[in-house]
Each structure stands twice: as structure tokens, then as C-alpha cells.
Amino acid sequence: MHDTVQIQLRAAGEIRHFLANGMKLDVGDMVIVEGDRGLDYGEIVVSGEKAPDTGSTGKTLRKIIRKANPWDNEQIARNRAKTKDLMSVCRQKIREHRLPMKLVAAEYSFDRSKIIFYFTSENRVDFRGLVRDLASIFRVRIELRQIGVRDEAKMLGGHGSCGRKLCCMSFLKDFDPVTIKMAKVQNLPLNPSKISGLCGRLMCCLGYEYRNYSECSRHLPREGSQIKTEHGNGKVIAVNSLRRAVTVDLGGGKIKEVTLETKEEKNCACESFISQRPSIT
């Protein structure tokens, strides 16, 4: 087992494991690493991990060359300053080739041996002619990567409806599947504008408490079911998982909220979930 760290390559690159190479590294440190071709740079997002010297793909992990020094930081800053020019040229060439693609970001590798352009498109795009034109202009290796709308939001950033920075931009490493069922279990309004993020997809945070809500509602009757209460028989018209209560239509315009407390419910995991849930002030 070797000491490894997770590094986000460049400003918009993927997160990979690298061998620490005996260096003491902290989250937030900028480092120079072995790239696919030449040197590259990145920021440490997770440190102090133990792992074999092969990654999930079976390939030998690359090493960290050094912590970024003042000269390295100047080089990174110069590369980032060129981004606007890279984007301008690429957009012009996309229009000339009439390609159905939206350019999202562009960046140099550390040693300027490669330029990566990120784009979105609803379909697959034949961009071979575009790559040839860009390579003839910049005289370096050109790479075009098609990304999804969630990756686009992660690169461009922004704030969610909660007022905080987007989760994908601040701490999420991977995009876990999010389904409409997660919103239904939490009794959220199924209004796309309410449960969708800036990317237009279901908000990632719908999955954070889904498991707890599912556990809390496991012993509760479903909406539309008939139940017997101390007030009489009725139809469940609403369920409150956290309070473990249901609203029952008893007929004749009579509606009652009933709290269901059983031995099984008292022992369910949602007791600790509710007690640990932060209050909103």
C-alpha cells in the first residue's frame, strides 16, 4: 500500500489518484504531476489515503513531481489568462464548420503541450475537421471532450436555490443517480422549477436524505389507502414521514391528522435522524 492523494487536474479536469511520492501534502495544495504527455498541474482535494499503486482502471498510478513553486504558479496564471483567446478562436471555428455544439471551457496543460476544449451537444459530433484547424493554429495537441450538462454546471459554477455554492462545484466528486422517486418520498412538489438545479436536471441534494426518509416512511400507510383510526375509518390523503403522522379523510368533510406510534416505529432509524437534523433559524 502506498500514500496517495486525489487531485483535480487543472481548473476543470477530472479527479485522479496520484502517488504522494513521500511528500507531505494538504488539501488545497497546488502540485505539478506526471500528465498523459508531459507535465500537468492540479489541486489536492483529498489527502492521506492508502491505496495500491494501481488505480481502478488497473493502470499504474502516476507520481506527484513537486509542490507548485512561485514560477509554477506564474505559469499556471499565464495559461489561465490565455483561456479567453482559446475560447474566441474555437467558437469562430465552430461557426465556420457549422457544428451543433456549445463550447463550455478551454484550458492549457501545464507545459502547454496540449489544449483541451470542453463542449456540450445533444448528439455525437464529428469534429475531426475542427481539430485539424485548431492544431494548425495553436501548433499543439488538441483534445475535444464532450461533457454533460451537470459537468457544465460544475465547471461554470453558480449558486443553488438554497443560496449556497453548487454542491458539484464545492465538494461532490461523482454524480450519483437522482430519480423523481426521491422527491416523492420526501413529499416535495413535483414542479420541475422547484426540484431542478441550474443544470436542468434533478438536484443532487434530493439524494442526501432519501435513505432516511425511506426508513421513516417504511411503517406508514401510503396515500390513498384505507386505515382504521380511533376517530373511525378513513382514507389517507397525506403522509408526514418525519412526524410519522398521516392526514385522514373520515368522510363528511371531517379530516384528522393521526400520529402512528408503534413499537417498530419507535425503534426505526429515523429517531436518530430527526434528533440530529439541524434546526432552521
CATH assignment of 218-276, among 2.60.60, 2.60.120, 2.40.50, 2.30.30: 2.30.30
Residue 99: what pLDDT? 95
Q: Indicate the burial class of 104 (C-beta count within 10 angstroms; 0-12, 13-18, 19 or more).
A: buried
Please state the pTM of the whole predicted model: 0.72
Give residue-wise pLDDT tens across range 39-58: 888 888 888 777 665 655 55
The dihedral sign for the CA sequence 208, 210, 213, 218: negative
Extended beta strands in the chain, E state: 2-9, 15-19, 30-34, 39-51, 64-67, 102-108, 114-120, 141-146, 226-229, 232-240, 245-251, 254-259
What is the distance of C-alpha 212 from the center of its chain?
21
> Would you say domain 82-147 falls under CATH 1.10.287?
no
- The confidence score (pLDDT) of residue 55 equals 53
Q: Is the dihedral of CA 103, 105, 108, 109 positive or negative?
A: negative
| Residue matched to cell numbers 484550458 | 107
Residue 196 pairs with which residues in a beta bridge? 202
β-strand partners of 141: 114
In contact, 16 and 33? CB cutoff 8 Å: no
Q: Which residues of the chain have pLDDT under 70?
A: 1, 11-13, 51-59, 261-281
Domain boundaries, the chain: 2-68, 82-147, 166-208, 218-276
**Which of 117, 122, 32 shows the shortest CA–CA distance to 73?**
32
Residue 112 DSSP code: S
